[in-house]
Amino acid sequence: MPTGTSARRPTPRHPAVSLARLGARMAGLDFSPASLAEARRLAEAAGHAIEFVEANVYDAARVLGRERFDFVFTGIGALCWLPRVQPWAELVAELLRPGGWLFIRGGHPMLWSLDERTDRLLVVEYAYFEHEQPIVEVEGGTYVETDATLEHNVSHSWNHGLGEIVTALLDAGMQLTTLVEHDSVPWEALPGLMERTDEKEWRLVDRPSRLPHSYTLRAIKPA
């Protein structure tokens, strides 16, 4: 479950509960017992039975089952915590049944590469392409509103270019069916430079067409 407060970190959401509300039978995985306890609490409060498993993401196929799922969802603020995108793509293909599909709603890697500024300039500060060395940041808090003082505030993240993500999926045997770039994101990624839209998203105030804010991608595992 993602944490952090920089432009590269989104507002927290719980896709498993949201998709369960739409009728899906969901399973979720996390390495943090505390996060899983909160996820189970949210699911119970929403009245949904969701399977949550504690494990490293790279062990997902082993603990959840290979070729078990019709659908894999990767949301905003997920890929940035993985050093390499290729193992993730291979894992997605391993989890899906033939004919199953992947859907991503992600923050655009161009957005991730920008520095936060208040002078209306868009400045590329961080790597766009996948890089061995992480982006190391020290943040004073978390995305959750709290009065608590946190002791562990160092985060490591990685960017992955859009071409790298697509190529990794193709190399894993997936077939790309949809790729759309959007001019909005569901959180205020660049504070002071964005405004809320009627769709409850955030978009640059000044010429939003300058920047791809997010993207959606759909890929199918061949039957």
Binning the chain into helix, strand and coil, the percentages to the nearest 5 are 25, 25, 50
Any domain includes 102: yes
Any domain includes 154: yes
Any domain includes 204: yes
Tens-digit pLDDT profile for residues 42-75: 899 989 989 999 999 999 999 999 999 999 999 8
Any domain includes 2: no
Which helix (H) or strand (E) segment holds residue 62: the answer is helix 60-64
Residue 158: which domain range? 15-220
The predicted model gives 87-112 an average pLDDT of: 97
Any domain includes 1: no
The predicted model gives 139-145 an average pLDDT of: 63
- Under the banding of pLDDT at 50, 70 and 90, the label for residue 11 is very low
The number of distinct structural domains making up the chain is: 1
Any domain includes 92: yes
Q: Amino acid identity of 13?
A: R
- Under the banding of pLDDT at 50, 70 and 90, the label for residue 10 is very low
Backbone angle region of 192, left / alpha / beta, with phi > 0 → left and psi within -120 to 50 → alpha = left
Which helix (H) or strand (E) segment holds residue 164: the answer is helix 162-171
Any domain includes 3: no
Any domain includes 181: yes
CATH number at residue 52: 3.40.50.150
Q: What is the pTM of this model?
A: 0.86
